[in-house]
Amino acid sequence: MVSGCACLFAPGAPVQAQRYPDKPIRVIVPYTPAGTTDILARLIGQKMNESWGQPVIVDNRPGANGNIGTEIAARATPDGYTIIMGAAATHSINNTLYPKLSWDAVRDFAPISLVAVVPNILVVGNSLPVKSVKELIAYAKANPGKLNYGSPGTGSTAHLSMELFKSMTGVNLNHIPYKGSAGVLADVMAGQISLTMDNIPVYLPQVQAGRIRALGVSSARRTPAAPEIPTVSEAGVPGLEAVTWFGLLAPAATPKPIVEMLSVETARILKLADVHKRISELGAEPVGSTPQQYAAFIRSEIVKWRKVIQDAGVRLE
């Protein structure tokens, strides 16, 4: 695809869309540099720059669990020159978790493409006498309220994944929130807490080194990064699926031809061998979708996590 692809648009499409892109594109990342969201934004931005000949500038706006950067994106001029690399937290969890937000994940955004999904991995410390999901459930039921699980923060997908696990199995586990995954990993390895279900890239190296034990992954299918690990669904909790995901969105009123052009280009990029390899190395699975598919996915995720949040009584201001 080359710069100035007016061929994508029917006669009569807005002149603005026919010229797109003719200046730099800003990609807001509502988190700090070097995280998965940031890496994906820079990877795709570099390929867009190579294809279209326009700079793609990543603008990190972290804070408030992604809410600060997301609000900036929601209020940006809807011309295709400001987009956001959203995530499960910003576009399927936070509107329920924070009832006073000034923006809405559905109303204020035009989905472009789902970029990648990252499964969580259910791990336990080696001192816990369980080697499968079914054994964990049985042990937890025999020792109600005695097992602690960690997460990188209240409202994180790790926290809510475990609350989903609790609601689907009827076990009683205590939540210990941390300020990031590093502390959770350290305490699971040390036996200070019993388990977690957190993003796979952080934990898989320690599983492979034998320092902690993996019981399952939270995706619908086994992950190519560790195909020997069963899904939690097949290992004892049928239907459990809880992934962290990342995707591009534009402000709601962005012209549809521009949204479509960005979607087609993103899908093309995600099929490139070097991009696929880099994303897979992160423990993620590249996706690529139409705007319509992504919109439906976001709506289904909002419904799922709203129920989990409400059932668990989680609320933040």
Give all domains of the chain, ordered by start, each with its CATH number. Answer: 6-117+244-312 (3.40.190.150), 118-235 (3.40.190.10)
Residue 229: how many CA atoms within 13 Å on its side-chain side? 24
- Picking from 211, 199, 197, the residue whose alpha carbon sits closest to that of residue 147 is 197
pLDDT of residue 52: 97
Q: What tens-digit pLDDT sequence spans the chain (317 residues)?
A: 333 343 444 444 454 566 899 999 999 999 988 888 999 999 999 999 999 999 999 999 998 889 999 999 999 999 999 999 999 999 999 999 998 999 999 999 999 999 999 999 999 999 999 999 999 999 999 999 999 999 988 888 999 999 999 999 999 999 999 888 889 999 999 999 999 999 898 899 999 999 999 999 999 999 988 999 999 999 999 999 998 999 999 999 999 999 999 999 999 999 999 999 999 888 889 999 999 999 999 999 999 999 989 988 887 76
CA 79 to chain centre: 25
- Picking from 168, 108, 105, the residue whose alpha carbon sits closest to that of residue 300 is 105
- The model carries a pTM of 0.82
Structure tokens at 254: 């962005």
- Report the alpha-carbon distance of residue 120 to residue 309 in Å, rounded: 18
Count of residues in the chain: 317
- Give residues with Cβ within 8 angstroms of 148, minimum separation 6: 173, 174, 175, 176, 193, 194
**Contact (CB, 8 A) for 276 and 270:** yes
pLDDT of residue 309: 92
Q: Which amino acid is at 190?
A: A
Q: How far apart are the first and last CA of the chain?
A: 44
pLDDT of residue 283: 82
